[in-house]
Amino acid sequence: MRLFHILLLPLCLLFAQVGPGAGLLASLLHRSPEYTCAKQGGTCNFSPCPLYTQVKGYCYRGKAKCCI
Protein backbone atom coordinates (compact mmCIF):
# COMPACT_ATOMS: atom_id res chain seq x y z
CA MET A 1 0.00 0.00 0.00
CA ARG A 2 2.85 2.37 0.80
CA LEU A 3 4.40 1.69 -2.63
CA PHE A 4 1.13 2.72 -4.27
CA HIS A 5 1.20 6.05 -2.41
CA ILE A 6 4.82 6.64 -3.40
CA LEU A 7 3.97 6.05 -7.06
CA LEU A 8 0.83 8.18 -6.86
CA LEU A 9 2.56 11.22 -5.36
CA PRO A 10 4.58 12.27 -8.48
CA LEU A 11 1.47 11.88 -10.61
CA CYS A 12 -0.52 14.18 -8.32
CA LEU A 13 2.28 16.74 -8.31
CA LEU A 14 2.40 16.67 -12.10
CA PHE A 15 -1.31 17.46 -12.42
CA ALA A 16 -1.27 20.07 -9.64
CA GLN A 17 0.65 22.67 -11.66
CA VAL A 18 -0.72 26.22 -11.43
CA GLY A 19 -0.82 27.23 -15.10
CA PRO A 20 -1.00 25.24 -18.31
CA GLY A 21 2.41 26.54 -19.39
CA ALA A 22 4.06 25.75 -16.09
CA GLY A 23 4.21 21.97 -16.28
CA LEU A 24 4.81 19.06 -18.55
CA LEU A 25 1.15 18.97 -19.59
CA ALA A 26 1.55 21.98 -21.90
CA SER A 27 3.23 19.84 -24.53
CA LEU A 28 0.48 17.23 -24.29
CA LEU A 29 -2.24 19.80 -25.02
CA HIS A 30 -0.46 21.30 -28.03
CA ARG A 31 -2.23 20.55 -31.32
CA SER A 32 -0.26 20.18 -34.52
CA PRO A 33 -1.01 22.52 -37.43
CA GLU A 34 -2.20 19.50 -39.43
CA TYR A 35 -4.79 18.67 -36.77
CA THR A 36 -5.95 22.29 -36.55
CA CYS A 37 -6.28 22.51 -40.33
CA ALA A 38 -8.34 19.32 -40.55
CA LYS A 39 -10.50 20.37 -37.58
CA GLN A 40 -11.42 23.59 -39.41
CA GLY A 41 -12.44 21.58 -42.49
CA GLY A 42 -9.30 22.21 -44.52
CA THR A 43 -6.69 20.06 -46.17
CA CYS A 44 -2.91 20.25 -46.21
CA ASN A 45 -1.64 20.53 -49.80
CA PHE A 46 1.91 20.62 -51.09
CA SER A 47 0.61 21.94 -54.42
CA PRO A 48 -1.32 25.22 -54.83
CA CYS A 49 -4.77 25.38 -53.24
CA PRO A 50 -7.71 24.24 -55.40
CA LEU A 51 -10.11 26.77 -56.90
CA TYR A 52 -12.43 28.58 -54.49
CA THR A 53 -10.23 27.82 -51.48
CA GLN A 54 -7.87 30.09 -49.58
CA VAL A 55 -4.63 29.59 -47.70
CA LYS A 56 -5.43 29.78 -43.97
CA GLY A 57 -2.15 28.49 -42.56
CA TYR A 58 0.70 26.10 -43.09
CA CYS A 59 1.30 22.42 -42.35
CA TYR A 60 4.33 20.14 -42.12
CA ARG A 61 6.68 22.84 -40.82
CA GLY A 62 5.73 25.32 -43.52
CA LYS A 63 6.19 22.97 -46.48
CA ALA A 64 2.45 22.61 -47.21
CA LYS A 65 -0.49 25.01 -47.21
CA CYS A 66 -3.72 24.64 -45.25
CA CYS A 67 -6.46 25.23 -47.82
CA ILE A 68 -9.98 26.00 -46.60
Convert the pLDDT of each residue in 28-67 to its tens digit. 677 889 999 999 999 999 999 999 999 999 999 999 999 9
22 with 39, same domain: the answer is no
Question: pLDDT tens, 4-17?
Answer: 777 777 766 666 66
Tally of domains within the chain: 2
pLDDT at position 36: 93
For Cα atoms 64, 67, 68, give the angle at the middle one, nearest 5 degrees: 155
25 with 47, same domain: the answer is no
Predicted model pTM: 0.56
Question: Closest Cα partner for 25 from 45, 38, 8, 11?
Answer: 11
Owning domain of residue 68:
31-68
37 with 67, same domain: the answer is yes
pLDDT at position 57: 93
14 with 35, same domain: the answer is no
Taking the C-alpha atoms of residue 49 and residue 43, their distance in angstroms, rounded to an integer, is 9
